[in-house]
Amino acid sequence: MTWDKILNFTLQLTSNALTTLQLFFMTLLFALPLGLLTAVIRMSRIRPVSYIMRGYLLVMRGTPLMLQLIFFMYGVKPAIENLLFNAFGASVTFSRLQVAIFSFTLNYAAYFAEIYRGGIESIPAGQREAANVLGFSKKQTFFRIILPQVVRKILPPMGNEFMTLVKDTALARIIGVVEITSYAEKMQAFYVSVLPVVIAGIFYLLMNAVVSRCFAAAEKRLGYYS
Amino acid sequence: MKVLQATDIQKSFGKNPVLRGISFDISQGEVLSIIGPSGSGKSTLLRCLTLLERIDSGYIAYEDLVMAKNDAASGKAVYSPAPVLQQIRRKFGLVFQNFNLFPHFSVLRNITEAPIHVAGKSRDEAEKEAMALLDKVGLAEKANAYPCELSGGQQQRVAIARALAMHPDILFFDEPTSALDPELTGEILKVIRNLAEEKMTMIIVTHEMAFARDVSDRVIFMDEGVIVEQGDPKQVIENPQSERTKAFLSRFSQR
Ligand SMILES: Nc1ncnc2c1ncn2[C@@H]1O[C@H](COP(=O)(O)OP(=O)(O)OP(=O)(O)O)[C@@H](O)[C@H]1O
Ligand SMILES: [Mg+2]
């Protein structure tokens, strides 16, 4: 590859990186709160409710994300589109990226849920009891006393998940989302050169360097107590 | 009117009866110590009185607010509706054996959080009062420290200030010095002694016999979920009547 081709490829790749970033941030935006909700329901004392959540967690964590993507793309997406059309006469079509965001959200929410649960269960019962005696409502206790301590505790495992997510976005190419890896693969074949693949790798590395920096900073900021 | 009235409290954990008919009351300004061997149900009693555990049957009331009373038909305790219980929570404070301060809040915020968000005080007012309380327990200069930066004795004094900030009518202590090194127990006992002088109503579970004898108006000796003996502290601790109390106290003085 010549220099101007490399430059051209890198510019093109940058625009595809936006798709990767979109998938990354949208997944976090939905999966972080959904995971918390899932964790809380999973810990419910109402047995059937808890068991349904366990089933969801088992499926999401026990099958390949790639398989889930295919399932949602070719099974769930058309079914929902048909349903919307038949029920409301609305002809909606979901984009490949939307389906990817949906699948990633459900999958990552399951992993996040287990991390949240571990964090919540690691907070000593005395914290809840002290809050209870002081008259805090359940909601206040959770959001003022428990959750801030949980966030601090789960930063390291969350950091790992965020970094895995950066790399997992590459899986979206299986349902035809054009992101960094799929473009690099195409260009590799076009130029018969692995250079595009190497440059794509550098993109992921840079993204993860930023993620890891952010987590290091957050851990430092919240490290004022032990 | 009695600050707290408890009648025939029964509580089991599964098949294990832990409280087997406890009755007592406490008047305004009285200091009551509860002593007894490990596993006799002292902590469970305090936890039932502070709504951390539910009783199976019996009657508990704070002044005219009934927490729980027996249902005539079933003989099982029925609790008052949540708003009444929330009102009752404002009547008492509890100091734990292991402090249970909120580690992510500064000392000052540990104290002001409930007055602001539960009692609805303004931040200014709550902070002013918290500083006065910290001054009282001798920790004014630690207002901006975090709990992990304090000694156990200091943490416990903050916990006492945190409980006092809600202006309880009655303050419970569950072995407030047991988690502390012996040389740190004195500072806690001094704070409690000062509260007694100010006529704070208190129930103190403790293994500090000399302290119980000197500071309290009345001592209860509990064993296996029942009150075996109660009365004047000097009388109970120095001249116990029941065999079980004698056995417990003699084991104690040998240590
Ligand atoms: N949550 C619980 N579940 C089951 N059993 C419990 C529970 N809490 C306490 N118990 C049992 O109740 C009994 C009384 O315990 P409790 O903690 O009230 O005793 P205590 O008098 O405070 O003892 P100590 O002096 O060691 O603090 C013990 O046999 C204990 O095992
Ligand atoms: Mg105890």
What's the pLDDT score for residue B111?
A: 98
Closest Cα of chain A to B52: distance in Å?
7
| Nearest residue, CB atoms, B103 vs list A131, A135, A149 | A149
Chain B residues close to A136, C-beta within 8 Å: 114, 117-118
What's the pLDDT score for residue A6?
A: 87
* DSSP symbol at B92: E
- Find residue B110's DSSP bridge partners: none
Average pLDDT of chain B to the nearest whole number: 95
d(CA B203, CA A111): 46
pLDDT band for position B254 (cuts 50, 70, 90)? low
Question: Is-contact B93 B168, C-beta < 8 A?
Answer: yes
What's the pLDDT score for residue A65?
A: 97
Pocket lined around ligand 1, Cβ cut-off 6 Å: B 13, 16, 18, 36, 38-44
Segment holding B127, helix H or strand E:
helix B123-136
Phi-psi region of A149 (alpha: psi -120 to 50; beta: other; left: phi over 0): alpha
What is the CA(B1)–ligand 2 centre distance, in A?
29
What's the pLDDT score for residue B253?
A: 67
Say whether A148 and B114 touch across the interface (CB within 8 A). no
- Using DSSP's 3-state secondary structure scheme, residue B58 falls into strand
Question: Is-contact B205 B177, C-beta < 8 A?
Answer: no
d(CA B105, CA B113): 9
Architecture of the structural domain at A3-225: Orthogonal Bundle (1.10)
What's the pLDDT score for residue B29?
A: 95
What is the CA(A33)–ligand 1 centre distance, in A?
38
Q: What is the mean predicted confidence (pLDDT) over B97-121?
A: 97
Neighbours of B53 (CB within 10 A): 16
What's the pLDDT score for residue B250?
A: 86
Q: What is the mean predicted confidence (pLDDT) over B164-175?
A: 97
Fill in the amino acid letter for B189: L
- From the first residue on, what is the mean pLDDT of each consecutive set of 10 residues in chain A (226 residues)? 86 91 98 96 93 95 97 96 91 94 98 97 97 97 96 95 97 94 91 91 96 95 82
Which phi and psi angles does B231 have, rounded to 5°? Answer: 155, -155
* B164: closest chain A residue by CA: A134
Q: Tell me how far apart the terminal alpha carbons of chain A are, to the nearest angstrom.
A: 53
Locate B166 and state its tokens: 């809600």
Residues 6+ apart with CB under 8 A from B157: B137, B138, B139, B187, B188, B191
Chain B residues close to A131, C-beta within 8 Å: 102
The alpha helices in A89-224, defined as continuous H runs, are 96-121, 125-134, 138-140, 147-168, 180-191, 195-221
Say whether A127 and B102 touch across the interface (CB within 8 A). yes
Query: Measuring CA to CA, which residue among A131, A145, A123, A226 is closest to residue B147?
Result: A226
Query: Measuring CA to CA, which residue among A176, A177, A197 is closest to residue A187?
Result: A197
Q: What is the mean predicted confidence (pLDDT) over B103-130?
A: 97
Say whether A133 and B102 touch across the interface (CB within 8 A). no
- Using DSSP's 3-state secondary structure scheme, residue B103 falls into coil
- Find residue B230's DSSP bridge partners: B220
